[in-house]
Chains A and B, each alone.
Chain A
């Protein structure tokens, strides 16, 4: 018997002839399900916020994949509590935009840092550049508008705020978020067995370091 799909039914969007985007609050659960039990015709699944984009191979597999995803979603339930892991990221708060961000939040520098370290963040998804995680959970007061013109080069390890997100730039890249500090943790290290140390659902806390 098909279960009710919940208060927010999925919507589907074709992207070109070989991709299907599934918009659903169960995107993370669907991603985990497709990893555990792949669906024929899905070459790769790429998560974003409440969204999972499926790359199809062959392109014509779309209709069968769509039906398979609908069946799969009907069996999924929200999995609260994330991965159960918490990562503590040591941060030296000396970023170029720290003073601007504190002023924007109406806080003193130390109070802004304390508020940021108190925030319970969570890895929503990875993307943009290898090892880059979109961290959700910033209180509204700490959410910062993106820069009008992105910096051409943001140093590796930069801790930054942009829109609803916090993040760490693992490598020097162009970047449009506001820089509040830096960490020595390398979030894309190919010398490790697991080059990317975090995954969707991990809880993250910043810890101020001198």
Chain B
């Protein structure tokens, strides 16, 4: 999978360079800037997860958000996802790691869905643009939707 990602990226970069050198340069600059921006947060989260995984062992993780934890574990995962603000490219490998350490697919589905769609920390920004009523309604619906996603992922995967 990682290899095809590289192939697609290099192909697109080639096409972009062939079509417009300047735009490609700009794109590369943007990529670098985005990467630089996220790097500290990224490193912080990796270290934090490393620490957490070394303290909480497999048994603990699978007890709290394991496949046997049912809707209770799913609720905990969804709440964690709603509160935290982790970029996808940190969240996905982290989740893969948690699954390897005993977390359940349904629970991880709830975590990822809530993480992406619900933003408690960013709610003040959202309110600035969309007012309180829409912000609350959107986040509540997205939170509830996370359980539908979790349920279906739990059934399918």
Determine if chain A interacts with chain B. no
B interface residues (Cβ-Cβ under 8 A, vs A): none
Residues of A that sit less than 8 Å from B by CB: none
